[in-house]
Structure 1
Amino acid sequence: MALRDAHVRRLTADPGGAAALSRLAALAARLLGAPSGQVSLVGQDQVVMGGAGQAESTVGRTSPAGDSLCTVTAMAGGPLLVDDARADERVRGLPPVTTGAVRSYLGVPLVVDDVAVGALCVFGPETRAWTVADAALLEQLAQPVLTELELSALARAHEDDRLAWQLAVDAAGVGAFDLDLENGELRWDERLLDLFGLEREAFGGTLGSFDAWVHPDDLERVHRALNAAVESVGHFESEYRIVRPDGALRWIAARGQALPGPDGRAVRFIGAAYDTTATQEAEARVARALEAMPTAFFHLDPQWRFTYANPEAERLLGGIGSDVVGHVIWELFPAAVGSDFERHYRGAAASGRPVAFEAYYPPPLDAHYEVRAWPTPDGLSVYFVDVTDRRRAQDAVESAAQRATLLADVTRALTDTLDPEVAVRRLAQLLVPVLADWCVVTLVDGSDPPLGPLEGSGWRARLRDVGWWHADDELRPLVEAYSRTRIAALTDESFVARVVTTGEATVLDHGATGAVASVLGPGEARDVLQRLAPASAVVMPLPGRGGLAAGLVTVFRGVERAPFDDEELQTLADAAGRAGLALDNARMYAGQRELAEALQRSLLTAPPSTGSHQVAVRYEPASETAKVGGDWYDAFSLPDGSLALVIGDVTGHDLEAAAAMGQLRSLVRGVTVTSGEGPAEVLRRVDGAMLTLEVDTIATATVAYLGPAPADAEPGSAVLRWSGAGHPPPVLVRPAADGIGGPVAEVLWGGNGPMLGLDPSLERAEHTVLVPPGATVLLYTDGLVERRRQTIDDGLARLTGVVTELVAAGLPLERLCDELLVRLLPQRTDDDVAVVAVRARD
């Protein structure tokens, strides 16, 4: 606890880094899509060091540590992900949560010397599901935050060192002293020894050695002032007499500052002293102090002319190739005119208040600077440091995050569809404007044979520009016209032809308009390209399997943007690689889908035409698979005139399931026709045949016979006899009795046994029911009634309710089947569906 508090005191000592920390908090919020970001240090209290969004107004405020989510983050020792703060026991009682300010929160600890001293966090007033990737990105941003905190602390430490020099300047530039309060060592510079008339060998290097030369009448007063400064860790100022070794009496004015250690107590005392009888030497001493400063400093007079620049300033500003002293800053550095430099410098001079800011100066300096300027009676004093390396590190983090976001968006957009053309159209809009001003995406149709050396004009027929986009919506019609006409205009020497045949990217850093126009035939495409006037371009293949190009993307930039750098080219190549893989997958899927669907349809025959009953069948493939599965139906006439109805479902949604379904369908049909047995015995024999023939699958099924009713039954009636093998039960919809009321749907429970493929020795039962004239019998697979987050009972209730409405509406059987699927199936189905419906003819 003590070590953490010491770190927090050290890091909060200088608020000068608040602007930079607020920018980092804003960066974190922007990259993670959160409304607010905050940097907090947590000791006995929480101190907000930087903030963006809602936290911006709290920068510099102190609040109880126990009320803060950042304290929970620091104590956790790792990322704190809170999707819904009101429901999270760790934080729901904290004031920011109870007031509604924070609903979602993501924080990572800031760790110094293995001690968590605070947190970098983003938050918002709405719930949000954070991911591990979000936490990893925030952890990456925590390092620049710690760097900024340490830089501010180092700047404060440097300011302490500089303070001795500044005090020497304030005290007319005389000597400096440095007292180590822990070991009692007192160091004097040569000037201070000279003031006291001492040789270094004669000075003992202790406070007692100093006391020996102070006038006895002043000694107690000097010690009181020194002790007060040490106890308060504050400022020291005193004027006293000394008696030099030669007996001369002189007055000395001294100023100093006590510096705290990790525990907050004073451990060092630094300062400066001067001879008040020799103030005429003050300017020379000031100059020596500034010359020795390790940081850059210069001074401007009221006419903005350099009057002084110390060696470090001359070094940092030396890129202009001349001495700065005597020159007007706006003439020597013309790029500063109208920039943040001029605005802040003139603002400080006009307001009389110091300013601190960061700004970039272009070549020949080509550097970012952190600047502090303060007005003086004779002009403006400026202290500055080169922070280019720090800015580059921050830019690298942001660039990496943007690249990761782009590639994630590309992956998500391309894998969300299995339609190749839809996928590449999305790619065009993702690459613009992040990587390019405009682009065109091209598909290479087919891969066999591959495009080799180009002969004749037939190769162009294999290419189609299917996606395009421009950052400027007014120029999109031009890009569309270019995409519509350019394939036909391509010559054999075109960059597109080169990339498609070699599989290697082509990069045009400059002069893209002329280069591309030179490989286009005369006509509209060339004219439109010259109006679009690209300055740089890249033609990148979309690599497929086996090294063949599945397509390519051509990206263009105008003169306002620099050519593509190595990192951008790598990002483009990564995006193209993902797009090529997605295209390959989509094409493979399309081929598999067409083959599988053709196979499945070939196995599902048309229903028989009987004089007594109308039969309607439907098959609906799944949306999210290869559009093939194990569901099947069958309906055929038996030798005794009965109508056999079969519905079944083999586990799986692939070609193997379809093949197994074909075998099982043939077995059921063959056993039913040849055995002359009832539905239960048919299922038992099929189960045995599966074992004998090693049909390694599991399936559900219902076999039903619809045959003549007893002589005493109502004319037009029939008997339904069925047996099930783990399959959803049939549904019987009876018409209204004597025209009274409405139709009634009944779920025909019973007659259901174990699934096929488990144990052929098990006995199976069958049931019968009288089917009145005009009734409808419905057999179906589970895809019609089963849904995620819905019970089978709820599904059956929906089915019986909908089919009752459709029968009541008097729909013909074919229309009834169509409406049944429309009403019960979602837009995108996870399972295939088969339906058999039977109704006595009028």
Structure 2
Amino acid sequence: MTGEPEGGRAAAGVPGGPFTSGGELEAARMRYARRLAGRGTRVSAADRLAELAARLLGTDSAQVSVVADVQTVVGGVGAAAASVGVESPAEESLCTVTVREGRPVAVTDAPHDPRVRDLPPVTSGVVGSYLGVPLAAGGHVVGALCVFDAGPRGWDEDDISLLELLATPVMAELELAALEVDYGDERLIWQLAVDAAGVGAFDWNLLTGELRWDQRLLDLFGLARDTFGGTIEAFVASLHPDDRDRVGAALTEAIAACGEYRAEYRVVLPGGSVRWVGARGQALAGPDGDAVRVLGAAYDVTAVRDVESRVARVLESMPTAFYQLDDAWRFTYVNGEARRLLSGVSSDPVGATIWDLFPATVGSEFETHYRAAVETGRPVTFEAHYPPPLDGWYEVRAWPDHDGGLAVYFIEITERHAIGEQRRLAAARAGLLAEVTAALTDTLDGEEAVGRLAQMLVPVLGDWCVVTLVDGADAAVDARLTTNWRRRLRDVGWWHADPDRRDLVERYTAVRIPALADTSFVAETLQRSKPVLIPAHAAEKVGEVLVPGEARDLARRLAPESAVVVPLRGRNRTAGLLTIFRDQGRPGFTPEDLDTLTQLAGRAGLALDNARLYTEQRNLAEGLQRSMLTAPPEPDHVHVAVRYAPAAEAAQIGGDWYDAFIQPEGGTVLVIGDVVGHDTEAAAAMGQVRGLLRGIAVTTGEGPADVLRRVDAAMQTLRIETTATAVVARLEQTPDEVERGVTRLRWSNAGHPPPVVVLPAAEGQRPGTLTLQAAGSNLLLGIDPGTRRDEHTVTLPRGSTVLLYSDGLVERRGEVIDRGVERLSGVVADLVADGLGLEAFCDEVLTRMVPDARDDDIALVAVRLHPQDRPRPAEAGPTAVPPGVPADPATPDG
């Protein structure tokens, strides 16, 4: 808070609000302020009220200032104590800001507040935060009551209201002091003399009974020497009747212990008025150790008592509770509000020790904070609950005093705490709902999703729980149970808050479903499709609907007190069940708990339904895609392996394809392609383009470039309106190349990522890689049928590995594709160096290149050219070629 907004509080009783500089109004205000300041340095009540303000607001310092042409501090504690009676320039004071604004001024961070940051108390570090309220009387704002700390702090409306409440007695005390000035110098000098000589002495001889008083003491009691009897009975006769027993007890105790005598009592003067007297004394021992005399002094404390009485009236009028503890933890004062709040324990706690009267405070937050405040000398603020008979929550502020005691201000906040607790629980439930929703949508695996649910709900909503799937459930199952209803159930998640009991829950889930009776709560939930609550004695009631055996025994060992079974509803179906249990000592399920569980169950049911739909769509898409991809041939000494990995999205059936076949003359053709798009239209177009390409290649026997040129022309003629990338490659050998152990690879590229070749390594060296980039690739298919199609040739030694792939293997968001191809080259070289067979090679390429969920289809064709001067390796499997086609890739014309 940096101050009241415009239109906030105005100073009480000040016409027109804050004073205006100059003019008759300002002159009158100045005269009034000087008049008050002239008496202010001797107003002890201002110190007491400043101390009270600091205690109640929990600050280190407070002061009462009168502001005229200068500032005069007339009362203060803490950092302000040294300034009492001191005048300082008004323009250097924060209180002048309060006087000028004529309303409360709250500063939370003084070094950064433009109103006060340049004032000396702030720049010197004395004031870091400040709260001041104006002192107004006679139609003028004449000063301020303020509290401050060296560091920053916030102020709320309660703080401002409390300080304004204290401003009233402060102003009254200042005006009373000003009136005394009017009695003149003679009255003042007389009063000072009385104050200076205001102590009387007494000597009580316990052996003779004689009580001797000096003249000052006789004057205090309003007696003459010839009218004072000189006995203890005469002294007691002058006391107020209500004080006699207490004073007698104090004297008796001092005499018995030969110790100190201390008392404050009222004296009834001869005219009937009452004077407060404070007495201190000492019982002196004789030769035998028993007390023989009591010596002491007494003085007038009426003025002090009047101030305390005025302070007490302020405290009594406060709507908040206040009590004072002495250094022995005894109640010395309790205001009316505190007596009301504490009436469940004692109507008048004064004189009792807090630990005896309120035993529940022992070892509690109350004792911890109270003792810490006294030991450290620092105020404390905390909230705590006191059990019955009070049974309430309290906000407590406690301040240590200089005598080792403690001042305590507190208010009951039971209702506020209950509202806060409700909000906290509501926020926790909202947070749990959000957390569960995120967990359920984070995976498309239904069992994994609901399996997470158990650990998230325990112990927030229960001590243990079980999550069950209902396989193949539909509306008919919800309406009535069939004979095999138990077979539809599978417990897929469970958890217990106690780690030592989790094995029991796991075993319970393994045996409970076959043991469920038709009258079980699970069956009832399936039939009703609504939550079923077991409010109490859950162990007994659950056991009754389990057939005798291990499941019933485990249920009773787990001993739940309450339980609820909630259906996980999907789209017009019960997709699962959530059973959550609470043990003894924990309250039963509230309507709010059931509402939260119902919401959670609804989200879990939808997650299960979505997972089911996803699986169905994915299986359909993948099945359709795979139906268009055929098994590769296996020519002699050539091993071909293929892979197709669909995208993670269920419906992302796409246009990626691979192909491998043998042309009639014996050449092995390898194809990798990708129709633009990721939908069923792309998949259909892929099927058309793939069919065209393999048909043209087989029937014409032409090389890769001619095949691509014919496919481009056929797409235009057949009005296949799509575009596609593709690489067509053919493995060829002449008889001479067979003898030399090499194979030619001829290829043409229509806008597709380049194939990668891993060459066999020389002994002791790492395999080398070759990217078949050539001078570049030609246009995609489906753009310009007249485009030129280039063809390239590379001679490969036997033992080489060739990899054709679709772009999903190497493309990454925010990365150029060349970087992915470079990374792939390194991976395939490592795998060949590790000696992996071709099938394992393909699997590991997918694992290393795409470790996370895929957002695109991936197709692979890998070929390994085994040496022809030795048998075909077993890892390559048997030779598989179409009837009438040569088993090796040699061609008559090369």
Q: What is the TM-score when the length of structure 2 is the normalising length?
A: 0.61
Q: Do structure 1's residue 606 and structure 2's residue 631 form an aligned pair?
A: yes
Q: 2:562 & 2:542 partners in 1: Cα distance? A: 10
- For 1:245, the equivalent position in structure 2 comes to none
How far is the alpha carbon of 1:438 from its aligned partner? 0.8
Q: 1:177 & 1:809 partners in 2: Cα distance? A: 97
Q: 2:678 & 2:189 partners in 1: Cα distance? A: 97
Partner secondary structure for residue 556 of structure 1: strand
How far is the alpha carbon of 1:470 from its aligned partner? 0.7
- For 2:184, the equivalent position in structure 1 comes to 215
Determine if contact 2:737/2:743 at 8 Å carries over to the other structure: no
- For 2:660, the equivalent position in structure 1 comes to 635
- For 1:535, the equivalent position in structure 2 comes to 561
Q: Do structure 1's residue 150 and structure 2's residue 175 form an aligned pair?
A: no
Partner secondary structure for residue 577 of structure 1: helix
Query: Which deviates more from structure 2 when the two are superposed, residues 343-352 or residues 518-527?
Result: 343-352
User: After superposition, what is the alpha-carbon deviation per residue over 1:526-551, rounded to whole angstroms, capped at 9, x for unaligned?
Assistant: 222222222222222222123x2211
Q: Do structure 1's residue 475 and structure 2's residue 444 form an aligned pair?
A: no
Note closer, same or farther for the CA distance 1:357–1:630 as it changes in structure 2 (3 Å cut). Answer: same
* 1:224-623 alignment, distance < 5 Å: 289-298=314-323, 310-317=335-342, 323-324=347-348, 335-336=360-361, 338-341=363-366, 357-363=382-388, 365-372=390-397, 382-392=408-418, 394-396=420-422, 398-448=424-474, 450-455=476-481, 457-546=483-572, 548-611=573-636, 613-622=638-647
How far is the alpha carbon of 1:696 from its aligned partner? 4.9
Partner secondary structure for residue 172 of structure 2: strand
Residue in structure 1 matching 2:109, options 20, 42, 51: 42
How far is the alpha carbon of 1:445 from its aligned partner? 0.9
Note closer, same or farther for the CA distance 1:374–1:765 as it changes in structure 2 (3 Å cut). Answer: closer
Q: Name the amino acid aligned to 1:44.
A: P
How far is the alpha carbon of 1:451 from its aligned partner? 1.5
How far is the alpha carbon of 1:611 from its aligned partner? 4.2
How far is the alpha carbon of 1:680 from its aligned partner? 3.0
How far is the alpha carbon of 1:806 from its aligned partner? 5.4
Q: 1:531 & 1:582 partners in 2: Cα distance? A: 33
Determine if contact 2:478/2:529 at 8 Å carries over to the other structure: no
- For 1:161, the equivalent position in structure 2 comes to 165
Partner secondary structure for residue 462 of structure 2: coil
Determine if contact 1:620/1:833 at 8 Å carries over to the other structure: yes
How far is the alpha carbon of 1:727 from its aligned partner? 0.6
Residue in structure 1 matching 2:770, options 722, 746, 758: 746
Determine if contact 1:17/1:152 at 8 Å carries over to the other structure: no
User: After superposition, what is the alpha-carbon deviation per residue over 1:554-611, rounded to whole angstroms, capped at 9, x for unaligned?
Assistant: 1111222222334433333333233222222222222222222222222221112434
Residue in structure 2 matching 1:731, options 756, 759, 765: 756
Note closer, same or farther for the CA distance 1:473–1:765 as it changes in structure 2 (3 Å cut). Answer: same
How far is the alpha carbon of 1:797 from its aligned partner? 3.3
Partner secondary structure for residue 474 of structure 1: helix
Partner secondary structure for residue 752 of structure 1: coil
- For 2:131, the equivalent position in structure 1 comes to none
How far is the alpha carbon of 1:489 from its aligned partner? 2.2
Partner secondary structure for residue 411 of structure 2: strand
Q: Name the amino acid aligned to 2:498.
A: D
Unaligned runs of 5+ in 1: 8-12, 20-39, 47-60, 69-118, 121-144, 168-175, 180-185, 187-191, 197-206, 223-251, 254-274
Q: 1:63 & 1:530 partners in 2: Cα distance? A: 72
Partner secondary structure for residue 564 of structure 2: strand
Q: 2:375 & 2:822 partners in 1: Cα distance? A: 81
Note closer, same or farther for the CA distance 1:747–1:500 as it changes in structure 2 (3 Å cut). Answer: same
Q: Name the amino acid aligned to 1:639.
A: P
Q: 2:772 & 2:371 partners in 1: Cα distance? A: 91
Query: Which deviates more from structure 2 when the two are superposed, residues 664-673 or residues 337-346?
Result: 337-346
Query: Which deviates more from structure 2 when the two are superposed, residues 358-367 or residues 421-430?
Result: 358-367
Partner secondary structure for residue 468 of structure 2: strand
Determine if contact 2:629/2:659 at 8 Å carries over to the other structure: yes
RMSD: 4.9
Q: 2:866 & 2:858 partners in 1: Cα distance? A: 24
Query: Which deviates more from structure 2 when the two are superposed, residues 766-775 or residues 560-569?
Result: 766-775
Determine if contact 1:5/1:43 at 8 Å carries over to the other structure: no
Determine if contact 2:651/2:679 at 8 Å carries over to the other structure: yes
Tell me the percent identity.
Answer: 54
Note closer, same or farther for the CA distance 1:367–1:63 as it changes in structure 2 (3 Å cut). Answer: farther
Partner secondary structure for residue 451 of structure 1: helix
Note closer, same or farther for the CA distance 1:660–1:287 as it changes in structure 2 (3 Å cut). Answer: same
The count of corresponding residues between Structure 1 and Structure 2 is 639
Note closer, same or farther for the CA distance 1:366–1:342 as it changes in structure 2 (3 Å cut). Answer: same
Partner secondary structure for residue 495 of structure 2: strand
Q: What is the TM-score when the length of structure 1 is the normalising length?
A: 0.64
Q: Name the amino acid aligned to 2:156.
A: E
Note closer, same or farther for the CA distance 1:659–1:561 as it changes in structure 2 (3 Å cut). Answer: farther
Note closer, same or farther for the CA distance 1:807–1:298 as it changes in structure 2 (3 Å cut). Answer: closer
Note closer, same or farther for the CA distance 1:803–1:369 as it changes in structure 2 (3 Å cut). Answer: closer
Query: Which deviates more from structure 2 when the two are superposed, residues 379-388 or residues 304-313?
Result: 304-313
User: After superposition, what is the alpha-carbon deviation per residue over 1:681-709, rounded to whole angstroms, capped at 9, x for unaligned?
Assistant: 43344334445555454421112233444
User: After superposition, what is the alpha-carbon deviation per residue over 1:781-805, rounded to whole angstroms, capped at 9, x for unaligned?
Assistant: 2233334565433433344445456
- For 1:683, the equivalent position in structure 2 comes to 708
Partner secondary structure for residue 499 of structure 2: coil
User: After superposition, what is the alpha-carbon deviation per residue over 1:399-433, rounded to whole angstroms, capped at 9, x for unaligned?
Assistant: 34433443333233323322222222211111111
* 1:46-57 alignment, distance < 5 Å: none
- For 1:177, the equivalent position in structure 2 comes to 172
How far is the alpha carbon of 1:645 from its aligned partner? 1.8
Determine if contact 2:58/2:379 at 8 Å carries over to the other structure: no
How far is the alpha carbon of 1:505 from its aligned partner? 1.7
Q: 1:697 & 1:64 partners in 2: Cα distance? A: 80
Partner secondary structure for residue 44 of structure 1: helix
Q: 1:2 & 1:434 partners in 2: Cα distance? A: 41
How far is the alpha carbon of 1:777 from its aligned partner? 3.6
